[in-house]
Amino acid sequence: MENIVIIGNGIAGITAARHIRKNSDKKITVVSAETDYFFSRTALMYIYMGHMKFEHTQPYENWFWKKNRIDLVKAFVTQVNHEDKKLVLQDGNTINYDKLIIATGSKPNKFGWPGQDLPGVQGLYSKQDLDQLEANAPDNKTCKRAVIVGGGLIGIEMAEMLRSRKIPVTFLVRENSFWNGVLPSGESQMINEHILEHHIDLRLETNLVEILADENGRAKAVTTDKGDTIECTVVGLTAGVSPNIDFLKESGIAIGRGVKVNRFLETNIPDIYAIGDCAEQHEGIGQRRPIEAVWYTGRMMGETVAQTICGNKIEYKPGHWFNSAKFLDLEYQTYGWVFSEQNKKENEQHFHWRHATEKICVTIAFDKDSKQFLGINTFGIRMRHEIFNRWLSEKRDINHIMEFLKDANFDPEFFAAYENEIISKFNSEFGTHITPKKKSWKRIFSNA
């Protein structure tokens, strides 16, 4: 019986295991040192905030794995010997494989800051990181202040977690506006305001210089390039993540920033694949980055590689870009491509609408010549993925999007609707005379 071994029990690895089992009777072994069972990584923050227990983040009951004949091994892989098709574990034991899937995810970035390895300094990615935060910052008496370094999605999550326990937070962001390498300026500015309103000490254009230790060797303060010394007992390093592949450096498997794969998620070594956060396409697909540390792309890669391993070789085709996140209590969705000012394409034009008093806004990108719809960002308004996915595939123009924008609204009926205001501003800005329309629900997915 062919033996499939998967390193990593995150969304990519477990999706691959589940779909291989759906389509075959192959032997499946999942190796991970993080946890006994698969859990939802995106839910980690809610455990710390008291909204759920760890067992609530596990999508499957513990009996699921045995019933589906998926063997789980809690161990750390130190070496891949592809010539003998063998994994070497930290305890010295070995595991043989016929086909190997590398799905080891990411690790928090460190940039050589003095003091970055002191007790009290940590990232927020793994279950171990969550346990460490619980020990480092159980309450605002033990943790008098936390400093978070890096203005991405993990940083804002960590800030929200700490503020839920009334721990003061200072947020160091090197850019001149929060996440402005990703978000257009109007949205980035709105997030700046939102962070400050949640009593977070946001310091823009500020870099970490050093983390200082107390007499016991624990973090006690940070210094910044503005000449400030900020006393703290926890330092959160959230300046992005990078593929967790250090154990592969002498393996003969081609690596760049991640494990190099082709469109079939194959590495340079026969019978070895890589998926999820640790996989790096030789060239990005469309306008996607070669490495995509995103939950849904990990799931899609898992499904794709499972088909290939079960004899139905298919190419990884992630389709139109989409994502969602939360900035504190503010929901964000994106479909297609809406680039920040510094990354904006030559032909890309933006329409931006922001509510006069609420933290609600919409930015729509379109081609300035052809008027083809390119993408949309929304904050505080939920949109229907299926509709924007179809409009992107059909290459609809911006006028069609505005005309039928009501169709895409996913908010319940009793929520306030803003389409009339949005279209009114669009008409005023671009000299159009668009009247909002709404198709009957049965016809929304037709071409009528």
pLDDT tens string 398-428: 999 999 999 999 887 777 889 999 999 999 9
pLDDT tens string 61-119: 999 999 999 999 999 999 999 999 999 999 999 999 999 999 999 999 999 999 999 99
Model pLDDT, residue 436: 86
User: Cα separation of 193 and 328, whole Å?
Assistant: 12
**Residues 6 or more apart from 305 whose CB is under 8 A from it?**
16, 101, 265, 273, 275, 316
Model pLDDT, residue 446: 52
Please report, for the chain, how many H helices and E strands are present, in that order. Answer: 11, 25
Model pLDDT, residue 215: 97
User: Cα separation of 172 and 207, whole Å?
Assistant: 7
- Classified as helix, coil or strand, 237 is strand
Residues of the chain with pLDDT under 70: 438-448
Chain center to CA of 304: 19
User: Cα separation of 61 and 67, whole Å?
Assistant: 10
- Report the CATH superfamily, name and number, of domain 3-107+242-309: FAD/NAD(P)-binding domain (3.50.50.60)
- Tokens describing residue 269: 């070594």
**Residues 6 or more apart from 99 whose CB is under 8 A from it?**
2, 3, 4, 5, 271, 272, 273, 309
Domains 121-239 and 323-445 in one fold: no
Beta strand ranges found along 49-115 (DSSP E): 70-74, 77-81, 86-89, 94-96, 99-102, 106-108
User: Cα separation of 280 and 213, whole Å?
Assistant: 37
Beta strands 146-149; 234-237: pairing state:
parallel
CATH fold of 323-445 reads Enolase-like; domain 1 (3.30.390)
User: Cα separation of 87 and 3, whole Å?
Assistant: 13
Model pLDDT, residue 411: 84
Model pLDDT, residue 439: 63
User: Cα separation of 186 and 352, whole Å?
Assistant: 8
Q: Where are the domains of the chain?
A: 3-107+242-309, 121-239, 323-445
Model pLDDT, residue 442: 45
pLDDT tens string 251-285: 999 999 999 999 999 999 999 999 999 999 999 99
361 closest CA partner among 122, 160, 190, 140: 190
CATH 3.40.50.300 given to domain 121-239: no
Chain center to CA of 378: 17
pTM more than 0.85: yes
Model pLDDT, residue 441: 47
User: Are 342 and 421 spatial neighbours (Cβ–Cβ below 8 Å)?
Assistant: no
- Classified as helix, coil or strand, 41 is helix
* 322-327 β-sheet, strand order: 322-327, 330-336, 373-379, 361-367, 348-354
